[in-house]
Amino acid sequence: MPVHQPAPPSSLARSGGAASPTIHAKTDSTVTRVINFSAGPAALPLPVLQRVREELLDWNSTGASVMEISHRSKKFIDLAEMSEADLRDLLSIPKEYAVLFLQGGAQTQFSMVPLNLLQQNAKADYIDSGYWSQLAIREAERYGRINIAASSKDEDYMTVPPQNCWQLDPEASYVHYTPNETITGVEFHWVPETKNVPLVADMSSTILSRPVDVAKFGLIYAGAQKNVGPSGITVVIVHRELFGQTAPSAPRLFSYEQQASAGSMMNTVPTFNWYVVSLVLQWLKQQGGVDGIAVINQRKAHKLYSCIDCSAGFYRNRVAVDCRSWMNVTFDLNDPRLEEMFIEQTEREGMIGLRGHRVAGGVRASLYNAVSEEGVDALVAFMQDFETRYG
């Protein structure tokens, strides 16, 4: 039986100045929703979806959908400015940083970062912590000399390389790392120290899950489809002092500096996606911002890891305890023949997205911001019951 999640009372009220409208989503007790543990595209907050449905035919009294109006119209520009202000507010982004909403997903940033930060014949340091950092390395190698300053390959990527073994080059243009490896569920619970070399982070699967000191980074990027909104939009937060080095051969649209001066609107923007992002940011503010959501996220992860650890080997998480991800909890079953049955039964119970990534196998529960604690409780209850029946 799919799990029935009644809609919460109207929410999404904007916390903001006097000009900020209070917005409400109608309640709807008839919709049957699954509990979505997908790694991305991932669950979106229900009040956001309700609000989207309500406004689909007439957005902001335009008599048209947000998909049908000009991105250069005053109403859309207001939305764009409001979402930037909300993101700045949520992450306390210092004014020296530009905030961009770009297209092309996180993997486009694998090229844009070196094209903008790696001057000709220059070099960069990369930390190899698994699948996504490796892809970033492979792409960057097309543009310059890439040094793998540390790797957790010898530990089968079940940990992160400790800072004291990093071989950093003080002459590097930047240091790139992946704070959360989405596939293995391995996370840095500390921010690396790179002295005067700018730190670049692929925060696709951790951004907005907790507070972060943006001032420690030269550049942060993230595909939206986990904690920020739907796929098709990418957030980039970049210190303006890194402008002015874009490779002359780089596509015009790939220049951070030009995108910043055009308000991320060098070409037609994904208006619908941006609109959903703006609603997600408002929703997050209602949850107490990143401080509020961090407490819930840590508790959700703790509940699931405790269930795994208490199963005496029936479920196994292989990640080093101090590197366990809050966002992506991976585990397998001691009898692999049970895995398929486990996935099938969760689906029958209305829980989706639990199959591990195709390169890793096993089970993965992604616990992004929009996954409720009740959803995690339901998964834990199912896992305990499954263990009683098959353990």
Ligand X SMILES: Cc1ncc(COP(=O)(O)O)c(C=O)c1O
274 is catalytic: no
Smallest distance, Å, CB 183 to ligand X? 7
- Residue 40 near ligand X by CB under 6 A: yes
**Which of these is catalytic: 59, 125, 128, 132?**
132
| One-character DSSP codes across 85-143 | HHHHHHHT--TTEEEEEESSHHHHHHHHHHHHH--TT-EEEEEE-SHHHHHHHHHHTTT
- Residue 106 near ligand X by CB under 6 A: yes
Cβ-count burial 334-349 (b if 16+ within 10 Å, e if not): eeeebbeebbebbeeb
Q: Which of 76, 132, 274, 326 binds ligand X (CB under 6 A)?
A: 132
Q: Which of 36, 116, 178, 255 binds ligand X (CB under 6 A)?
A: 178
Tokens of 183: 């596939």
- Residue 204 near ligand X by CB under 6 A: yes
Q: Which of 182, 194, 325, 369 binds ligand X (CB under 6 A)?
A: 182
Q: Which of 86, 202, 332, 387 binds ligand X (CB under 6 A)?
A: 202
Task: Answer whether the bond into residue 9 is a cis peptide, omega within 30°.
Answer: no
150: CB partners within 8 A, 6+ apart: 127, 128, 161, 165, 166, 167
CA 239 – CA 136 distance, rounded (Å): 20
Q: Where do we find the tokens 């795994």?
A: 308
Smallest distance, Å, CB 204 to ligand X? 4
202 is catalytic: yes
Cα torsion 70, 50, 32, 234 to 10°: value is 50
Of the pair 143, 314, the CB lying nearest ligand X is at: 143
- Residue 223 near ligand X by CB under 6 A: yes
CA 70 – CA 51 distance, rounded (Å): 21
59 is catalytic: no
**What interhelical angle do 105-117 and 131-140 show, nearest 10?**
40
- Residue 205 near ligand X by CB under 6 A: yes
Which segment (119-127, 167-175, 200-208, 359-367) binds ligand X by CB under 6 A?
A: 200-208
Smallest distance, Å, CB 177 to ligand X? 11
User: How many chain residues touch ligand X (CB under 6 A)?
Assistant: 11
Smallest distance, Å, CB 311 to ligand X? 27
- Residue 130 near ligand X by CB under 6 A: no
Catalytic residue set: 132, 202, 226
Query: Where along the sequence are the contacts to ligand X (CB under 6 A)?
Result: 40, 105-107, 132, 178, 182, 202, 204-205, 223
